Amino acid sequence: MFGPPTQWILARARSRLERGGSLTGALTLPDPSEQQRVALAGLLGRRPRSGRSLRVDVDDLDTVVRRSGCAPSLAAAVVALTGPVVDRAALAAEAARDWRAVFALADPLVDARPALGAWRDRLGTTGLLRRLAGSREEGQALMAAAVSVLGALPADGAPISVFAARVLGDGHGLDADRPLSSLVLDAVALLGRSLSADGDDGDAGDDGDAGPDELVGRTARSAEWRREAWAAVGVLVSELALPVLTLGLPGDRHSVTGRVLDLWRGAGEPVHLSLRQLVGDPPTLTALAGTAVFVCENPAVVSAAADRLGARCRPLVCVGGMPAAAAASLLRLLADAGAVLRYHGDFDWGGLAIANTVTTRFGAVPWRYDRAHYERALRPGLAGLVGRPVDARFDPDLSDALGEHRHRVEEEAVLDDLLADLGPTPPADPGDAPSVASRDPH
């Protein structure tokens, strides 16, 4: 009855049944061949019809099937000829209910920590959990593990492998290539930001003005961003990599890191601070409240300051480019302590990008880093600017100046001015530094 020219009838009837629909109304075939027209006419016992499509009433087909005696109905004929029909709509509804139960595992955690609500909601809208898991059973196991990990935060400065072994019983459970790491990373970042806001009455956060949705939707997943996100909740990832360079930071008597800082400050020598030290044994920096702490881009500034000023150098931090996890942790400690961060970098597009980060995320203000100081430093023979232009959010006029002159000025070219500011009696530079800049913490 249903040969090749009429197989489209079975295919369309089966598709409708699989979607949970009923076999009523009509079935339509666009652009039929002449053979298909003739076959349908023969099936129904009528003359072939013309037109751009074939349309047949399901009731007519049902009648033909019953009269033929091959099946009691068209639906029964579909099953007999093509196999059992699975109601895909019903299956999809059942799967949706099962996945809602998986997401509900996070409800008690979100109730206790509302900042994680954006993370849980986006897991459903983006499909991340389902992609990582593949099956509902694996999704349930992943979500349960994620809840255990997030519920154990903040940690006490433990390496991530130690933390994973403690919480999951698997020291590699949070390795960067594991699905669980991808699942919790946005939540870790949100939780770190929430903890920071709780600590400073909500005035600052590691992502400036970024809202929860913006943070959760972050597309960049660099290794450094991962290190910093975990560090904000007391978990160390590659904690000895990329330390931050400092000079003249006062320490304290209560932490090993603080005592080391005091020792090197008295010797007038630079010191590298690792993420391990800054998270596991952070110094108390309250002596710097209201005091200017200078932040530079290049280690050459620190080296020259140590050579020329030694122990007389005012507090100085070198980010060494875009702040890595250790530098970001130190800048956050300084900002939370009430220090006045003043930033200087190379006058080029890369320097502006770094300045945007330092000013936006840590509340720094420019230090000799504006149009006037850039134009004062211009001279023949400077290298031209390269790369894509960057808008200086802290000072649009500086971006315009770089675009007009098209030359870069590196920090090494203005060392004398920078070192003069870093000395115990800095020269007056109207509009460059607030009155707190001259205050000495000791």
pLDDT in tens, 348-385: 999 999 999 999 999 999 999 999 999 999 999 999 99
**Mean pLDDT for the stretch of residues 106-129:** 92
Task: Note the Cα 237 to chain centre separation in Å.
Answer: 16
Q: What is the pLDDT of residue 61?
A: 86
Dihedral in degrees, nearest 10, Cα atoms 206, 207, 211, 215: -100
- Taking all residues of the chain, what is their mean pLDDT, rounded to a whole number? 87
Residues 274-283 have pLDDT tens digits of: 999 999 899 9
Tell me if the bond preceding 114 is cis, omega within 30° of 0: no
* pLDDT score recorded for residue 201: 35
Instruction: Print burial letters for 39-62: b (CB count within 10 Å at least 16), e (below 16).
Output: bbeebeeeeeeeeeebebebeebb
- Give me the mean pLDDT over the 4-19 stretch: 84
pLDDT at residue number 429:
62
Q: What DSSP line would sit under 140-198, residue for residue?
A: HHHHHHHHHHHHT-S-SSEEHHHHHHHHHS-TTTT-TTSHHHHHHHHHHHHHHHHHHHH
Look at residue 205 and tell me whether its pLDDT is greater than 60. Answer: no
Which SS3 state, helix, strand or coil, does residue 213 take? helix
Better-predicted residue by pLDDT, 180 or 12: 180
Q: HSE on the CB side for 304, CA within 13 Å?
A: 19
> What pTM was estimated for this model as a whole?
0.65
The region of weakest confidence among 75-79, 232-236, 315-319, 357-361 is 75-79
In this structure, the number of other CB atoms found within 10 A of the CB of residue 243 comes to 21
Question: Tokens 């016992």 belong to which residue?
Answer: 45
With pLDDT > 90 as the criterion, what percentage of the chain qualifies? 59
Spatial separation of the C-alpha atoms in residues 300 and 247, rounded to whole Å: 12
Among residues 323, 316, 315, 215, the alpha carbon closest in space to that of 275 is found at 323
Q: Place 209 in a pLDDT band, splitting at 50, 70 and 90.
A: very low
Distance of alpha carbon 397 from alpha carbon 235, whole angstroms: 40
What pLDDT does residue 435 have? 39
